[in-house]
Amino acid sequence: MASSLATVAILSIGEMGLGIAKLLQTHEYHVITNLSDRSEWTHQRARSASIRLVPTDQELAVEADYILSIVPPRDALSTAKRIVNAVKGSTRKQDTPLYYIDLNAISPRSAGEIDDLFRSTPIRLIDGGIIGGAPTPPTETSPDGYKPSIVVSGPYTLENAPVSGPHLAQILKIKHISPSIGPASGLKMCFASTNKGFTAIAIQAFTTAHKLGVLSELQSHLKEYNPTIGNGAAKALVGMPPKAYRWVREMEEIADTMCEEGGFERDLFKGASEVFRFIAEETELGKEKTGDRKLGKTPGDVAKLAGEGMERRKLKTE
């Protein structure tokens, strides 16, 4: 197996990107990234995993066999444009195709816009979505580790990619579900609407209960009468703060999907977007970073801090 010959570029190295980078390195893939416009925190993440940094997108485009785009949804299109410009300005040889696997939480329409962008280039687009959390390595209690599901669609497949394609698909647990651009992104949107939409509801319910002074009663009733929902809400609330800023645009992309593909109004998920914007921009929870958590480690703390944010908002409007 010559999988070590495949070079995979990951843009960017957030929690998911880092997990996938480590998984690929375990299987001898060469992982690179360009972090020239990223924070020191992201640089530290990349260095911690021995990911090689390249100074420009042009160099990244020359070296990579595959580019995995895993960025906040708001940056999906601009990241694709970066790579188009990089390929145009690079010295990449044309004998080996460059595959761009867009794994961002975007609507089918947004995926189509990226497809349109790539049509006049030699880049081969694969539409994709990640369902589940970041990969984790094997442990004593979990000897197989954990991998999310990666669904992809479009006319190009990794099974036919010339450099380690089938092996890469196996390692990343990739499932090709359609020959069209859009279905993979759409499936991601439908799945995310159920769990992240639920998180937005939990934020409102727990924050309002806290402000009413009945949070402990809400939690005890959930434990007795609906423990599945109660446990799910607790887990969702604690895991949400560092990701809230990403989910603002993701809820808007879900709203577009439900409207354009399902025929529904956008109001429901536009409202969820506003909930996450409030958390990200108007509460102390918005300062949290994955791997360096200080606040919001319990559902009660999340509700308390969200409630304080609401009080500050109220004072501003009075």
Tens digit of each residue's pLDDT (9 = 90 or more) over 70-86 = 999 999 999 999 999 99
| pLDDT over 70 percentage in the chain | 99
Residue 143, both tokens: 């000897």
Mean pLDDT (the chain, rounded): 94
Q: Measured between alpha carbons, how far is 150 from 164 in angstroms, rounded to an integer?
A: 17
**pLDDT score of 261 more than 90:** yes
Mean of the pLDDT values across residues 204-220?
98
Residue 283 has pLDDT above 80, yes or no: yes
Which of 31, 241, 286, 39 lies closest to 14, judged by CA? Answer: 39
Confidence of residue 32 (pLDDT cuts 50, 70, 90): very high
Span 4-9, average pLDDT: 84
- Nearest partner of 85 among 117, 111, 53, 112, judged by Cα: 117
Q: Calculate mean pLDDT across residues 213-224.
A: 98
Quick: pLDDT tens for 90-137: 888 777 899 999 999 999 999 999 999 999 899 999 999 999 999 998
As given in the structure block, the two tokens for residue 57 are 């997108």
Strand partners, 9: 32, 67
37 band by pLDDT with thresholds 50, 70 and 90: confident
243 contacts 291 by C-beta, under 8 angstroms: no
Tokens representing 136 are 């984790």
What is the gyration radius of the CA atoms in the chain, in angstroms? Answer: 21
Q: How confident is the model at residue 317 (pLDDT cuts 50, 70, 90)?
A: confident
- The 8-class DSSP code of residue 291 comes to T
Question: What's the pLDDT score for residue 2?
Answer: 43
Half-sphere exposure of 209 (CA within 13 A, CB side): 20
Tokens matching residue 311 = 């009080």
Mean pLDDT over 295-312 rounds to 98
Q: Which is more confident, 162 or 243? A: 243
Q: Does the structure show a pLDDT above 90 at 212?
A: yes
Taking a C-beta distance cutoff of 8 angstroms, is the pair 105, 189 a contact?
yes
pTM for the model: 0.94
Q: How far is CA 14 from CA 39, 43, 242, in A?
A: 11, 10, 11
Nearest to 307, CA basis, from 289, 283, 272: 283
| Among 246, 157, 235, 154, CA closest to 198 | 235
Q: What is the pLDDT of residue 3?
A: 42
Of 60, 58, 50, 43, residue with least CA distance to 88:
58
pLDDT tens track for 246-257? 999 999 999 999
> CB within 8 A of 242, min separation 6: which ones?
15, 288, 289, 290, 293
| Residue 78, pLDDT score | 97
